[in-house]
Structure 1
Amino acid sequence: MQASKISAGMLIVGAVLQFMSPAFADQLADIRSRGEVTCGVYSNVEPFSYPNAQTRQLEGMDVDLCNAVAKQLGVKAKLEPLAVEARIPQLKLGRVDLVVANLAYTKTRATQIAFSDSYYSTKEVLVVKKADAGKKLTDFAGQKISAADGSTSAQSIPLSIKDGQAVTFHDTSSAFLALEQDKVKGFVTNQMTARKIAKQVEGTDGAVAIAAEPMLIEPIAVGLRQNEPAMLAAVNKALASMEQSGEMSAIFNKWLGPKTPYGLTRTDKVTPINQLKFTPVS
């Protein structure tokens, strides 16, 4: 009787484990099985991912990167538009497979998700009114500074400006509007967005300048779920292949290069984050 109970119990456990096994399947194998990888991208942040004015389809640097990585994995890309602050939660919840949304490495994020090798580094910079163009970061001590909510731009404020008061907004446009309306003394964003904004308002009463000292230097990478070594290795292999073929530089130049409004020159190569010299934010 006892043996029968044990045998029945083992059968039940075996059946449960068999039923549960698909939930613990290797992510890369699952993606290749369904032939599609879901990329979390920005919903409306130029030049990374934003709707085309005519087609309303998402386009941008991160869209191209997602499509290129998907091609390297041998699957199609499915784009999932996300707000800035939703990037990490949606990845952790499994609603997206990857986050390709100008995602900067931070110590806190690294405890929650995995990061691919970095494919370029960016700067967080302080945008100020033209009258404050010659000031140093120390001159803004104790001042209100705006940034997008959930961004490393916001995190950089107390790190780079003594007693700096971070005032956050849902998106970059709203954060810049606060500077225009003199609600804050400065606005922090990445250098690409800062350059574009400065050009757009150049020669107007609302002209702005970019402070000479950067707030932060940040490596940008693809965000992945933790404990998925095969997926991480595959994405890093894809990035390395894109670097070697020149595709990575071509995508960068198309959206951020010298002939774009951002006028940047790509000097970084695809590199493991632990081999980079930088001070990560919390």
Structure 2
Amino acid sequence: MRIKSACLALIVTPVIAMAAHADQWADIQAKQTLSCGVYSDVPPFSSPNPQTRVLEGMDVDLCTTLAKHLGVKVELKPLSGEARVPEVKMGRVDVVIANLAYTKTRAQQIQFSDPYYVAKEMLVVKKPLADQPRSYFEGKRISATKGSTSEQSIRMAKATPVTFQDTGSAYLAVQQNKVLGVVTNAMSAAKLVAQAGAGGVELGIVKEPMALEPVSVGMRLEEPALLAKVNDALMAMETAGEIDQIWAKWIGPNTEYKMVREEKVQKLSALKFEPLE
């Protein structure tokens, strides 16, 4: 009898353990709502409308459209940048759509959908240097914001990072000839070049990116059903042209950011890139 009881316990215990692990997609279906973490105030991704105080932006529209394709309502949950990974890791939000780029460290804590665009770390230099290949800057001093992925990308490109507390200070170092260039994301780089040009300073952007950062929907680890549903929904949004429309509205060529969407939704495994830490 004791042997039978022990065997029964061995059989039952894994079943109980499996039952205890909730299926997040089943939970979303049951409540008929997708809780989506977005930035609390980072335009143009998600920020309060000045008049209505209702959140709006590119990531807000992506959340709303994703929920539509999943057949549920959306509940927006504003987050700080630092809270994006912890909140989804702990299950306080179902997904996070907040310009979240794939890195090695983040991938150990949460899982990522297929990327819906690829952000780029770009090198901004004085105009005469803009046509140089990235290899030209190996061993050269390049500025960036301290602790940023931009700083990581400089090391990855075998250049020497000189860091500052903010992008403005990093750019000032270029003006003062303390560094050859400043690295920032493509959106900020384009804006920096435009602002400098308005002030009579000619800058350019080195064509080859310093690093690629796939931007995806973040979800809790070990939720295969939800991951599959989100990936299917993203591909449907791509096919319907909805992601292109959202992009064009908030950061496209006719906006102040003048961003061109070059990559479409694709499998993360198919993207050739060296992930940042």
How far apart are residue 142 of structure 1 and its match? 6.0
1:194 to 155, 172, 189: 189
Are 2:29 and 1:32 aligned?
yes
Contact 1:201–1:208 (CA under 8 A) maintained in structure 2: yes
2:218 to 215, 223, 226: 223
Are 2:103 and 1:106 aligned?
yes
How far apart are residue 94 of structure 1 and its match? 1.9
Partner of 1:172: none
Partner of 2:269: 274
Partner of 2:144: 146
Q: How does 1:1-282 map to 2 (within 5 A)?
A: 24-128=21-125, 138-139=136-137, 141=139, 143=141, 145-147=143-145, 149=147, 151-167=148-164, 169=165, 175-182=166-173, 185=179, 186-204=181-199, 208-282=203-277
One-letter identity of the residue aligned with 2:169: A
Structure 1 CA distance, aligned partners of 2:247 and 2:263? 11
3-state DSSP of counterpart to 1:158: helix
- State percent identity of aligned pairs: 48
User: How has the CA–CA distance of structure 1 residues 44 and 161 changed in structure 2, closer, same or farther, with 3 Å as cutoff?
Assistant: farther
Structure 2 CA distance, aligned partners of 1:208 and 1:84? 29
Structure 2 CA distance, aligned partners of 1:98 and 1:152? 22
One-letter identity of the residue aligned with 2:248: N
Moved more, 35-44 or 183-192: 183-192
TM-score (normalizing by structure 2) = 0.80
One-letter identity of the residue aligned with 1:235: V
TM-score (normalizing by structure 1) = 0.79
Structure 2 CA distance, aligned partners of 1:154 and 1:57? 34
Instruction: Indicate the RMSD between aligned Cα atoms, in angstroms.
Output: 3.2
User: How has the CA–CA distance of structure 1 residues 85 and 209 changed in structure 2, closer, same or farther, with 3 Å as cutoff?
Assistant: farther
How far apart are residue 259 of structure 1 and its match? 1.4
Q: Unmatched 5+ residue regions in structure 2?
A: none
User: How has the CA–CA distance of structure 1 residues 144 and 270 changed in structure 2, closer, same or farther, with 3 Å as cutoff?
Assistant: closer
How far apart are residue 130 of structure 1 and its match? 6.5
Q: Unmatched 5+ residue regions in structure 1?
A: 170-174
Structure 2 CA distance, aligned partners of 1:275 and 1:242? 19
How far apart are residue 120 of structure 1 and its match? 1.6
Contact 2:103–2:276 (CA under 8 A) maintained in structure 1: yes
Structure 2 CA distance, aligned partners of 1:67 and 1:29? 19
How far apart are residue 110 of structure 1 and its match? 2.0
One-letter identity of the residue aligned with 2:198: G
3-state DSSP of counterpart to 1:202: helix
How many residues matched?
263
Structure 1 CA distance, aligned partners of 2:217 and 2:62? 10
How far apart are residue 125 of structure 1 and its match? 0.9
3-state DSSP of counterpart to 1:231: helix
Moved more, 229-238 or 30-39: 30-39
